Structure 1
Amino acid sequence: MSKKTGEAGAHQGLKTLLSRLMRPDDANIVGNVHGGIVLKMMEEAGCIIGTRHCNTQSGDRCLAALVRVEKTEFLTPIFIGEVAHVTAEITYTSKHSLEVQVKFMAENILTGAKKLANKAALWYVPCSLQNVDKIMEVPAIKYASAEQEEEGRKRYEAQKMERQETKARTEEVMPPPPNPEQHTVGFSQSSLIHLVGPTDCTLHNYVHGGVTMKLMDEVAGIVAARHCNTNIVTASVDAINFHRKIKKGSVVTVTGRLTFISNKSMEIEVLVDASSLVEAEKGKYRAVSAFFTFISLDKDNKPLPVPPLKINGEEEQRRFEEGKARYLQSKAKRLANQARQQ
């Protein structure tokens, strides 16, 4: 369900709440809710509030389209039978984009106890329903203070710069060799092929960002499970950049491959390629890319050591070193945040 409330925190605008019970088809075989379900629900809440806000002005009707998800941490596992509460709030607007802060709470329906499972910042742009390539202007919001507006502007400039600097990896994903050795990149590399249908799409007939992220998480989970042969859960996702739109009737190929492994975590690069089913001459293109981090769990949901990754060749070594740099940078930020909180 979704509801509209008056004030959005310090801002004069909309606040959206989505709630629903987590069902068996939302989870893996041991009852952990898939990270892709969490991402999809968060994107839906962001799309609702963004679209509502952008249609409070006169002119063409529009739909908020997801263009970026900042790095997000999965703070605690969610299980079948818990109630998910997803709240979304607009926290910054530029001329043509808006930032939506989303929180995912999980409630024990028997005790009423709630826990914060995830939170993320999502960026949207409003696309005209008459012309999907026309980006509409975003109505401004009112801030509680000049400082709050300035902090939002800094976040906007930072994500804008990162989006411009982040190039889609254009390299072709090579199929794994026949009979690959266990614990190599080729052994766990996995692909999913999906035909984009009407239920996957927005009013523009382009794929919902949440649908794409759910497919990406599914493939990354298969890669992680094949490598560990244990229960696995999503721990975090690096910034997801949507490079190009995917239209209804397209065939998407979602490929995941291990890039880096620490003692208790696995980084998996996930690449989404799209091509038209009826217009093959237009060729295939890279639509979305991101890095997912998974951890291995025992029967009590405690982290397990991860088998080391066997590297073959210069390309795998290069990707491993790049992944290691991301891991160390993320670890340093996490330790710095913990130090500030103490």
Structure 2
Amino acid sequence: MWGPAAETLSSLRICRIMRPADASGAGGVRGGTILKMAEAGATVSTRHCNSQIGRRCVAALVRAERADFLSPMRIGAHATHVSAEVTSTSKRPVEVRVNVMSESVLTDTKKPPNEATVWYVALSLKKVDKVPGVPPGLYPRQEREAEGWKRCEAQKLGCRETTQRNGDAARPRRNPEPDTASYSQSGVLHLAGPSDSTLHGLVHAGVSTKLVDGVPGIVAARHCKTNTVTASVDATNFYKVTEGCDITVSGRMTFTSNQSVEIEVPGDADPVQDNLQTRYQAASDFFTCVPLSQEGRSLPVPQLVPDTEDAKKRFEEGSGQYLQMKAKPQGQAEPQP
């Protein structure tokens, strides 16, 4: 008979120090970092799902119940202890309770744990889309067995309610037409933390460069529907960005020739912790990208359709600059793709 697993069936404990890469600009550990550590439940679930001889499967996360962050965590002098334990099983899902506790390595004081309940199902390694049954767990007391079944039924009902609610909220909306500037436009948002900054709180220019470099590749791939490579980058202007700023990098197509695309990539900084300072430009750049086939040969570019007055103005400016570059004698400037 299927039932809740014994408390000692499968458990895991890990410990590590929180580092600058785990923290936000204010020095507190991000909630996403704690939730990532809660994925230790995948290990204990996989152990349980492979407890029967001859089974070869891996546990996949299907639902995370409400996670309560009972106390903030700080970087540096705090060790984080994570414990994950299988608490019940049913025919398909495995319930895992994860506790994350912070302990000061200097004063030996502990904070209340952050708790989460996560559910996993087994996926066969031979056939990924096959969901085999979960090995039964034995529990000495029937009342705990009944409690486990109730939680299992509750999480199934919660899954159905969430699916129905999201289905009602997801209204079909008109997408921008293909080949337009709005269709390929993309962006990324990044909160500059301690690991991005110097000892004086200034964000490394390389962080901004990395963010700026990733966006035009997405924009070009959306427009060209194939892999693209960067052919050239104009001179880049950098401005001072401090730790704790939100960096927003957006990319928009401005011009296309027969074999290349031009993408403007502005980057803005928003000092979210400083009410006196307003949003300002952190970087500005223009990228030229070329689409390639799987064999590495250049492909023709779908012509850009400017769908707004601003897009039309930028297209005309890009066309004029492109014609000027083409008119220059070879040797004075690098040939454009």
TM-score (norm 2): 0.49
TM-score (norm 1): 0.48
Structure possessing the higher radius of gyration over alpha carbons:
2
